[in-house]
Amino acid sequence: MKTLVLVEHDNTKLNDATLPVVTAASKLGEVHLLVAGHNCGSVAEAAAKIAGVAKVHVADDPAYAHGLAENVAPLAAGLMADHDAFLAPATTSGKNIAPRVAAHLDVMQVSEILSVEGPKTFTRPIYAGNAIATVESTDAKLVITVRGTAFEKAASEGGSAAIEAVSGPGDAGISSFVGAEIAKSERPELTSAKVIVSGGRALKDAETFEAVITPLADKLGAAIGASRAAVDAGYVPNDYQVGQTGKIVAPEVYFAIGISGAIQHLAGMKDSKVIIAINKDEDAPIFQVADIGLVADLFTAVPELTAAL
Amino acid sequence: MKILVPVKRVIDYNVKPRVKADGTGVDLANVKMSMNPFDEIAVEEAIRLKEKGAATEIVAVSIGPAKAQETLRTALAMGADRAILVETDEEVEPLAVAKILKAIADEEQPGLVILGKQSISDDSNQTGQMLAALMGRPQGTFANTVEVDGDSVVVKREVDGGLQTVKLALPAIITTDLRLNEPRYASLPNIMKAKQKPLSVKTPGDYGVDIAPRLKTLKVAEPPVRQAGEKVADVAALVEKVKALGLA
Ligand SMILES: Cc1cc2nc3c(=O)[nH]c(=O)nc-3n(C[C@H](O)[C@H](O)[C@H](O)COP(=O)(O)OP(=O)(O)OC[C@H]3O[C@@H](n4cnc5c(N)ncnc54)[C@H](O)[C@@H]3O)c2cc1C
Ligand SMILES: Nc1ncnc2c1ncn2[C@@H]1O[C@H](COP(=O)(O)O)[C@@H](O)[C@H]1O
């Protein structure tokens, strides 16, 4: 079986989100990668070095510069004539493109797989991870998105895959990129961070969130996350949201500060190795999953903790 | 311009789903069901576009059991103009839902189709993208802001790392994210009025769509349960624990 993995990148750097997808693909068969972008030669070179990759297909065209699904999906669907499975990371970009590829191929996508159980059998979470379904595809080709935290990352060095230029239909002419507001931060990325400090509604406002959460995260070299309530209230940007409908994380240590522990939040962080919760309500549901809990007012406890570390 | 809004009846987001003892699925007997929260946001956005004069008619569609009429009545009470129920007791997968919606779009010729980004039941996050592909039209997924501008729509999208803005030629497909708007509650008079609004009932066969599942569910199981750990007495004790983890 030959697989085609969609590489996530910004035309200069390969995004690590690709690496667990390579691992998932290698359980199915020979791994080929697709780099669709513009002036993306450095990405193709980095992709060719990933251990276990047999071939890198590069489509270099202005139409693919911003990963527009309308343009990338037909390209990927075309390449699927020679491949049996298409895999993408379950990132916002992968989720945007993969179902469009599936529809072009007339197959049902298997979303956000947690494991490969057989050539066509996978597990995936449903109902905010409150149930795990084992599903078997009956389609001739597979289209899959992969939950990054569920698979080891493939080694980013060690491979020497052949790089082959490919082309697709190019610009479908129905959509265009206008702009992006992407925050550049020195902090570790949320989905790959070893330690995450997350704050909830209790943090009051953006200034208070910054004053209480940031110093602790700085001390720990941690990424910062948040509950939906904190994002909706504008304390932090939307891409900080951890949960069923935000980012799925599984760090070594996850701090939940002033977060109640709604099922939608737990869905995004309950696979963390150690969960530490600080909440003033001793009955808060977050304590049912926390390894270490402190019942306290966060406005005194967190600064004390930060000072003592 | 007409707007089509697909709405799904799902388990209420406040209910904790329980896996059936026989491992065949999640127990939905006697469980509170509601409109998928992202679809409420979709209905709200359609109403706002109509209030701004960018849209003239809102058609809500649901594919599901007879009870999905309740979900459609909720959409009508919020402000949709009419509704279509495509009735079936089978579970319909996103690909088949997208095919039915494509057939309805062919009949109705909407300028926009606004869906939720994900159903909180199957967590697929596929239907809108599939529909867009089947229609050969552009998609603005995970929408944070939507502005109709002549024969195109500008969509600000919630993406990893921040926000991305795209311009799409109409007709276009949009899927909603949480920050797009805050849905209104239907008022009592509007709930009464909604009972008189037209609701037509169809079947998947009327649209010539085969809804046989492509994915076979072999088993549905509980996830591994996490045990609660210990509570520490004070910050000093927490500091010790944190240090013991090698964090400082
Ligand atoms: C469709 C849908 C999708 C959703 N997706 C997500 C998602 O992806 N991620 C997510 O997080 N949520 C999601 N939610 C929202 C979720 O249901 C909860 O509303 C949300 O997680 C609550 O956030 P919170 O814990 O910060 O706020 P609250 O539930 O209000 O909890 C605040 C907590 O802070 C504690 N507190 C208050 N003051 C202090 C203090 N001084 N010191 C210490 N503790 C204090 C309180 O005891 C309380 O436990 C979603 C909801 C829906 C409907
Ligand atoms: N059975 C259905 N009836 C109506 N709309 C649906 C149905 N299934 C999915 N949708 C729409 O597609 C969106 C995404 O669903 P999903 O792809 O299942 O996560 C939902 O938010 C709805 O807007």
Q: Please give the ipTM for the structure prediction.
A: 0.97
Residues A111 and A203 in one domain: no
Q: Residue A135 maps to which CATH number?
A: 3.40.50.620
pLDDT band, very low/low/confident/very high, at B78 (cuts 50, 70, 90): very high
Residue A111 and residue A219 in one domain? no
Tell me, yes or no, whether A47 lies in a domain: yes
Are A83 and A159 contained in the same domain?
yes
Order of all β-strands in the sheet with A53-60: A110-113, A142-146, A85-89, A2-6, A30-37, A53-60, A162-165
pLDDT tens digits, one per residue of B84-114: 999 999 999 999 999 999 999 999 999 999 9
Whether residue A128 and residue B236 make contact (CB cut-off 8 A), yes or no, is no
Domain count, chain A: 2
Which of B95, B99, B127 gets mutated to test ligand 2 (max ligand atoms within 8 A of its CB)?
Answer: B127
Question: In chain B, what is the straight-line distance between the N-terminal and C-terminal CA atoms, in Å?
Answer: 60
CATH classification of the domain holding A226: 3.40.50.1220
Instruction: Give the count of beta carbons closer than 10 Å to the beta carbon of residue A171.
Output: 15
pLDDT number for residue A225: 98
Same domain for A208 and A122: no
Q: Write the CB contacts of A123 (distance below 8 Å, at least 6 apart in sequence).
A: A113, A114, A115, A117, A132, A133, A134, A135
A172 occurs within a structural domain:
no
The total of other beta-carbon atoms located within 10 Å of residue B20's CB is 13
Question: How far apart are the CA of A183 and the nearest CA of chain B, in angstroms?
Answer: 6
Between the CA of B135 and the centroid of ligand 1 the distance, in Å, is 38
Task: Show pLDDT as tens, one digit a residue, over chain A (309 residues).
Answer: 999 999 999 999 999 999 999 999 999 999 999 999 999 999 999 999 999 999 999 999 999 999 999 999 999 999 999 999 999 999 999 999 999 999 999 999 999 999 999 999 999 999 999 999 999 999 999 999 999 999 999 999 999 999 999 999 999 999 999 999 988 888 888 999 999 999 999 999 999 999 999 999 999 999 999 999 999 999 999 999 999 999 999 999 999 999 999 999 999 999 999 999 999 999 999 999 999 999 999 999 999 999 999
pLDDT given at position A184: 82
Q: How far is CA B95 from the centre of its chain?
A: 14
Please give the pLDDT value at position B222. Answer: 95
- For residue A178, tell me if it sits in a domain: no
Whether residues A19 and A97 fall in one domain: yes
Of A240, A246, A238, nearest in space to A217 by CA? A240
pLDDT reported for residue A185: 82
Within this chain, do residues A23 and A151 fall inside the same structural domain, yes or no? yes
| Separation CA B24–CA B17 (nearest Å) | 13
Q: Is A181 inside any structural domain?
A: no
Q: How confident is the model at residue B228 (pLDDT cuts 50, 70, 90)?
A: confident
Question: What's residue B225's pLDDT?
Answer: 87
pLDDT of residue B247: 87
Both A90 and A15 in one domain: the answer is: yes
Are A38 and A145 members of one domain?
Answer: yes
Residue B248 reports pLDDT greater than 80: no
Query: How confident is the model at residue B191, as a pLDDT?
Result: 96
Domain B2-244 has CATH 3.90.76.10: no
Return the pLDDT at A155. 98
Helix H or strand E encompassing A25: helix A18-26
Average pLDDT, rounded, for chain B: 97
In a domain, residue A177? The reply is: no
User: Using CB atoms, which residue from A174, A176, A291 is nearest to B229?
Assistant: A291
Q: Are A241 and A220 contacting, i.e. CB atoms less than 8 angstroms apart?
A: no
Domain residue extents for chain B = 2-244
- Is the residue at A185 inside a domain? no
A134 contacts B221? CB cut-off 8 A: yes
Question: What residues of chain A lie within 8 A of the CB of B238, using their CB?
Answer: 276, 278, 292, 294, 301, 305
A258-280 per-residue burial string, b: 16 or more CB within 10 A, e: under 16 = bbbbbbbbbbbbbbbebbbbbbe
Q: Do B138 and A127 touch (CB under 8 A)?
A: no
Q: Whole-angstrom Cα distance, residue A264 to residue A231?
A: 14
Residues of A in contact with B229 (CB under 8 A): 275, 290-293
| Centroid of ligand 1 to alpha carbon of B164 (angstroms) | 26
Specify whether A50 is located in the same domain as A110. Answer: yes
Asked whether the beta carbons of residue B159 and residue A93 sit closer than 8 angstroms, the reply is yes
Could you tell me the residue range of the domain that residue A215 belongs to? 190-308
Do A9 and A134 lie in a common domain? yes
Residues A52 and A152 in one domain: yes
| Mutation choice for A interface testing from B26, B119, B122, B129 by most A CBs within 10 A | B129
The DSSP-derived string for chain B is: -EEEEE--EEE-TTS---B-TTSSSB--TT--EEE-HHHHHHHHHHHHHHHTTS-SEEEEEEEE-TTHHHHHHHHHHHT-SEEEEEE-SS---HHHHHHHHHHHHHHH--SEEEEES--TTT----HHHHHHHHHT--EEEEEEEEEEETTEEEEEEEETTEEEEEEEESSEEEEE-TTS--PPPPPHHHHHHHTTS-EEEE-GGGGT-----SEEEEEEEPPPPPPP-EEESSHHHHHHHHHHTT--
Q: Which residue has the tokens 């579970």?
A: B91
* B165 vs B155: CA distance, rounded Å: 6
CB–CB of B232 and A292 under 8 A?
Answer: yes
- What is the number of CB-based contacts under 8 A between chain A and chain B? 266
**A120 & A44 share domain:** yes
